[in-house]
Structure 1
Amino acid sequence: MLITTRGVRYAKAARFAEPEPVTWDGVLGSSQRGPACPQPPSSLLAVVGNSVEGLSFDEHCQVLSVTAPDSASGLPVMVWFHGGAYVTGSGESKKYDAALLAAEGVVVVSVSYRLGVFGYLRDDLGLLDQLVALRWVRDNIAAFGGDPSNVTAFGQSAGADSVYALMLADTEGLFHRAILQSAPLGARGPERAEMTAALREFVSVDASTPVEDVLAVQQQVPAMAARFGLAGGMPFGPVLGEIDLSAAASRIELLVGHTADDGSPYVADHPEAWATVTELVFAEPARRLAADWTAAGGQAATYNFRGKPPGAPWGACHCMELPFLFDPEGWAGAGMLAGQEPDPVLAKTVRGIWTGFARNGMDALPSRSLEFGE
């Protein structure tokens, strides 16, 4: 039996202000999903479906949900950061319901944080939200049966990019392992700081600007950002200073990888470019990070997820591993699945690898270079 506690507020903040921690009220088993940050429709709607269906919207969206086995005690903790290019998505989404993952003997925490202009126009507030959420886990997760000394941060796409930033920003030892799924690390580089400075000049909003007007201005940002090359494909997100991996590598074990056709949804009409985009944005940067992590004194492994249902129109595309990791009901109707269900054997394997890594780190992996699916 599992207990899910949804919509727990971990922080509060005025618009463009740093988050202030909120003390947990101790209530377990609440069923009301929390709000999603206000956002435009996802650019991957046809691929993955509506990830915020049924949710309310509120810029005060600093909430999290916890799924844990009943009577759990001292279990590994996995903290999930959703993707969506830092402009869409929510940890409260049905797509990230974690009952099957938690049934493997872990406690799963799903975090929502400020997005787009609300979270990344000034001072990387979305990243600060995430750090406060990790402190909430440290302080409260034992009440759910989790072990605060054994925490894995994991995320996909912008969520994986978030985990990368958190590895560098966390000076408190808030987590001990990390899984980066399809992090668009190729969209990072020297252009990002310049682009963010230009974005802050371009976007003219303040604390009194109506939400709908903020989103209208935000929708104009991609055209402005296009001149910054690959970085312009993800104009919002944390800006990292000089990167030194050594401190993080000494304390965090890393599993990093991608799907075989990660780039396909972004150049869907040009199949000849799928492999190139996948390599530039996702695959090569993942391999390089693993090598750099090892060179900095850490332990790292890589994976390549090739699984896909018959007739998948974009192959093993960006987000394809998610229905194999979370409860597949939330993914019914996703275009990338072509009306099929995830293969249950492969799904069980993926969940076993992820939770095994969360439990025992590198010792649980059958290889330092993993291949899933075909």
Structure 2
Amino acid sequence: MQNPTAPVVETRQGKLIGFTQDNVDAWCGIPYAAPPVGQWRWRSPRPPEPWEGLRPATACSASSWQSSEYCQELGGGDPGQFSEDCLYLNVWSPSSRTAPLPVMVWLHGGGFTIGAGGLPPYNGAPLARRDVVVVTLNYRLGHLGFFAHPALDGEEDRVVHNFALLDQIAALRWVQENIAAFGGDPDNITLFGESAGARSVLSLLASPLAGGLFHKAIVQSGYTLPDTPREQALKKGEALASHFGLEHATAEQLRAIPPESFWPLEAPLNIAPAPIVGDCVLPEAMLDVFFAARQHPVPIMIGSNSDEASVMAVFGIDLAGQIQKLRRERRFGLGLIRLLYPGVKGDEELGRQVCRDMAFTTMGFVVMQAQQRAGAPCWRYWFDYVAEAEHATYVNGAWHGNEVPYVFDTLGQVEPSRQYVNERDLAFAAQVADYWVNFARHASSDRDVLKGPTNWPACRKGRDVLLRLGVNKHAGFRLENRFMRARMSLFKRVMKHHVSLD
């Protein structure tokens, strides 16, 4: 028998019944596109099929194919079952709703190879209690999400390689059409994401297909790795087909490869943690768009963490080796870098900071300057808080991804943090989440300051200011002018030539 108090909404496809917990209504596993299976693998997503009657929406869907072990270790939890039929989203909304509420749409990270919208850190209930509607989603991962092969060319009336980004665009279209039924305002949608999710946000800010689908953007630890050129992606696709014994593969043969065969592939057959440039989604490289200030001119919040280099080992990058390479090949460049990092001792520590800043910190500087040229506001942050019990573990600061449970205010609800957080950690997390919600609610071209423990001004023309979220790993909020300005100016000039996974 159905629970008579369970929340029911009517979408364009049909009615959904969800569940209520602690004054928040939730609906999970909502299809936003038709299953991309069989002949629909490596094609643009299609609208979801309508249904009759009341569809249960009480459990998250299967995730895209990936390594469960890797996701549990690095991606935020257990992604559950896998399927190519993975294009579903989840919605949280306060049970008491009056005026239309700001909408926050989350794109998960994981290098475009792991992750899911239903992972525990992304529980939208704590943000929804602040009177916003939260949406999280799955998108195609790995080769299912990013692929090029000559046999697939010409199947559609446009060139498509970034299927994952098209999934995200389809989800945003679904939100535009349906979110009012959940209490959300379709004219106030904030797109936010971390790592590969942040890279997705940057890509959609640069994509001609995403204009008007969101009104604000938050970029958490977006990175400067170059997009993969279409020609290179086509060659990689042919090499992958050969690996499966398909020298002159047809589209039908490629689609017959079992979906679970792709994710275990290692270099050079794995995908890069960056989209492909040269299709309808990204006709121009994301970095080139921002360098030319041609991004969609919406308010942006952007920042990164104090120990982003923690992720470099995952990509197989030897931090000390980067400095040793400079010493062999570019002694002048190394001398210049030493001037920019006074007091930093040893190749390991210098490599850690240089790689962090070239790959992550500089992205905020690039976006700030692009926003200033476009006449749009930009709020910059630097996350440097570590839970009090974990200072000895996180010696160099906040790791890549550490800010996520603070942003969602799920710290203490997810492993392993529930084992060690205290009231002061939780209070700090609540303040960070408040800033994110304030951005979603108030940020606009006319709004210069976000209210909080420290009032946070946007970077306008002539103003380069950043908010430290945590100071030397401890609680606190502090504004800093011209943050790492000399380093950022140099790295912006050279990063296109020197940031890669090679």
Shorter-normalised TM range? 0.7 to 0.9
1:228 match: none
- Call closer, same or farther: CA 1:177–1:235 in 2, change over 3 Å: closer
Residue 64 in 1 paired to residue 64 in 2? Answer: no
Spell out, residue by residue over 1:66-86, the C-alpha distance to the aligned partner (whole angstroms, 9 max, x if none). Answer: 001113240000000000000
* TM-score (ref. length: structure 1): 0.87
Q: Which has the higher contact order (CA 8 A, sep 6+)?
A: 1
Residue 265 in 1 paired to residue 311 in 2? Answer: yes
Residue 160 in 1 paired to residue 198 in 2? Answer: yes
Task: Assess if the C-alpha contact under 8 Å between 2:412 and 2:426 holds in 1.
Answer: no
2:26 match: 4
What is the letter of the counterpart of residue 90 of structure 2? S
Task: Assess if the C-alpha contact under 8 Å between 1:262 and 1:278 holds in 2.
Answer: yes
RMSD: 2.6
Q: How does 1:1-40 map to 2 (within 5 A)?
A: 1-12=23-34, 13=36, 14-22=40-48, 30-40=57-67
Aligned partners of 1:282 and 1:198: how far apart in 2? 28
Instruction: Identify the match of residue 120 of structure 1 among 121, 131, 146.
Output: 146
2:374 match: 296
Residue 88 in 1 paired to residue 114 in 2? Answer: yes
State the number of aligned residues: 357
Aligned partners of 1:357 and 1:172: how far apart in 2? 20
Spell out, residue by residue over 1:246-280, the C-alpha distance to the aligned partner (whole angstroms, 9 max, x if none). Answer: 55443x11111101111223249865132122101
1:359 match: 441
Q: How does 1:91-102 map to 2 (within 5 A)?
A: 91-102=117-128
Q: Stretches of 4+ moved more than 6 A in 1?
A: none
CA shift at 1:7, angstroms? 0.5
2:364 match: 286
1:373 match: 470
Task: Assess if the C-alpha contact under 8 Å between 2:71 and 2:115 holds in 1.
Answer: no
Gaps of 5+ in 2: 1-22, 149-160, 245-253, 320-347, 451-455, 459-465, 472-502
1:332 match: 415
Aligned partners of 2:176 and 2:63: how far apart in 1? 23
Residue 209 in 1 paired to residue 257 in 2? Answer: yes
Aligned partners of 2:129 and 2:55: how far apart in 1? 18
Task: Assess if the C-alpha contact under 8 Å between 1:76 and 1:359 holds in 2.
Answer: yes
- Call closer, same or farther: CA 1:329–1:338 in 2, change over 3 Å: closer
- Of 13-22 and 136-145, the range deviating more from structure 2: 13-22
Q: How does 1:181-196 map to 2 (within 5 A)?
A: 181-184=220-223, 186-188=224-226, 192-193=229-230, 195-196=232-233
Task: Assess if the C-alpha contact under 8 Å between 2:199 and 2:274 holds in 1.
Answer: no
Spell out, residue by residue over 1:273-318, the C-alpha distance to the aligned partner (whole angstroms, 9 max, x if none). Answer: 3212210111012211211221123221211000112334243010
Aligned partners of 1:355 and 1:277: how far apart in 2? 31
- Call closer, same or farther: CA 1:18–1:181 in 2, change over 3 Å: same
Structure number with greater Rg is 2
Task: Assess if the C-alpha contact under 8 Å between 1:324 and 1:343 holds in 2.
Answer: no
CA shift at 1:62, angstroms? 0.5
CA shift at 1:165, angstroms? 1.0
What is the letter of the counterpart of residue 306 of structure 1? D
Task: Assess if the C-alpha contact under 8 Å between 1:165 and 1:238 holds in 2.
Answer: no
CA shift at 1:58, angstroms? 0.7
Spell out, residue by residue over 1:194-228, the C-alpha distance to the aligned partner (whole angstroms, 9 max, x if none). Answer: 54333222222611111232233xx22x3457xxx
Residue 254 in 1 paired to residue 300 in 2? Answer: yes
Residue 318 in 1 paired to residue 400 in 2? Answer: yes
2:174 match: 136
CA shift at 1:4, angstroms? 0.7
What is the letter of the counterpart of residue 276 of structure 1? V
State the SS of the aligned residue for 1:91. coil
CA shift at 1:187, angstroms? 0.9
- Call closer, same or farther: CA 1:196–1:235 in 2, change over 3 Å: farther
